[in-house]
């Protein structure tokens, strides 16, 4: 139980921030998972569309502080490489 005004405010802020981070993380993971599933499916057109949708989500994850920039770059690179290998 918080005993100070500042502690009460930190609790409120944490709840909001946690919800926002969880939503951002979920959206990011869903986009990447859809891209991976499309790649596994072997349909190049669908995989390219899914990759095109996942790339901005990864970039947004970096901006929102959900991902490190190198992690996002690595994921984008690997997804792109996998899509190109479908040719």
Q: What is the CATH number of the domain that holds 78?
A: 1.20.58.110
- Global pTM reads 0.82
Contact, 76 vs 50, CB < 8 A?
no
Cβ-count burial of 32 within 10 angstroms (0-12 exposed, 13-18 middle, 19+ buried)? buried
Range of 38's domain? 5-84
Domain count, the chain: 1
80 vs 58: CA distance, rounded Å: 13
Token pair for residue 33? Answer: 């998972």
Enter the DSSP assignment of 86: T
Note down pLDDT in tens along the chain; length 87 residues: 889 999 999 999 999 999 999 999 999 999 999 999 999 999 999 999 999 999 999 999 999 999 999 999 999 999 999 999 997
């Amino acid at each position: 139980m918080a005993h100070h005004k500042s502690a009460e405010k930190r609790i409120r802020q944490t709840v909001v921030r946690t919800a926002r981070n969880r939503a951002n993380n979920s959206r990011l993971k869903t986009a990447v998972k859809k891209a991976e599933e499309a790649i596994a499916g072997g349909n190049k057109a669908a995989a390219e569309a899914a990759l095109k949708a996942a790339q901005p989500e990864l970039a947004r994850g970096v901006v929102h502080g959900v991902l490190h920039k190198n992690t996002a770059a690595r994921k984008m690179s690997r997804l792109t490489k996998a899509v190109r290998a479908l040719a």
